[in-house]
Amino acid sequence: MTQTYRTTRRAALLIGGALLGVHMIIAALSQAPLSPAKLVYGDAVTEYLDPYFSQNWMLFAPQPMSDSRGIVARVTCRNGSVSEFYDVSAAALEKVQGSRFFPSRDVRLVSSNIQNLTSTEEVLRRVRQKQTNDKKPALPPIPYEKATEAESVKYLSRYAYDHMPSACEGQPVKVQVRMYVHELPPWSKRRDPDAEGRVLTKDFDWLDTKDLR
């Protein structure tokens, strides 16, 4: 083994280790609590991680489930007609339940992006809650939240577009995603068979299918 080979190998290992370390730091920053560094570098971190290294580690469940969330989608055809809503979440769930031994991961892809749309940093949540209690204007979404929402909406729109192959004879020009939150009846009404929870919806902007390919 020549000296030149040893030097080259050592340099390659050092460079590779440094790049891996930088990647791990960026991935950790994406999951860190809100901080000045995250506000400054959040957009750059999201751009670097998306789509192959995006992180969504939900390790704990601090609150019990109190609602059911999902998305439906519709498309616009070339002639201007609009299709009926397609239940994207239900289709993903059926794929999971169709195979107990090798379940599909599609439902996780959908639910993780819905989580990005409905969750917020704890600090911002407390600030907005206090402003609401004080009857003051709530803090508008910060750039990091806007970037996260845009990324999730684009992914869900692409997913819905890919799972509606027969819509508009396979040539839709636009797709729109609607998120729904079905609030479950309160625990005090658990024995009431007629109890129903509220259903809240939010429509996102139409996206051109050419931008989703």
**Overall pTM > 0.85:** no
Is the pLDDT at 206 greater than 90? The verdict is yes
6-54 tens-digit pLDDT? 888 888 899 999 999 998 888 888 877 777 887 788 888 888 887 677 7
Round to whole Å and give the CA distance between 137 and 145: 18
Q: 3-state DSSP call for residue 81? A: coil
Give the per-residue pLDDT at 98: 75
Residue 47 token pair: 């751009």
Give the per-residue pLDDT at 173: 92
Give the per-residue pLDDT at 64: 62
Round to whole Å and give the CA distance between 42 and 163: 31
More confident residue, 169 or 205: 205
The average pLDDT across 62-76 equals 79
Judged by phi (left if over 0) then psi (alpha if -120 to 50, else beta), residue 80 lies in left
pLDDT band, residue 60 (cuts 50/70/90): low
Give the per-residue pLDDT at 58: 54
Round to whole Å and give the CA distance between 71 and 180: 6
More confident residue, 110 or 82: 82
Whole-number Cα distances in Å, 134 to 124, 130, 150:
15, 6, 30
> Would strands 199-203 and 207-208 be described as parallel, antiparallel, or unpaired?
unpaired
More confident residue, 38 or 81: 81
Q: 3-state DSSP call for residue 95? A: helix
122-158 tens-digit pLDDT? 777 788 888 888 888 888 888 888 888 888 999 999 9
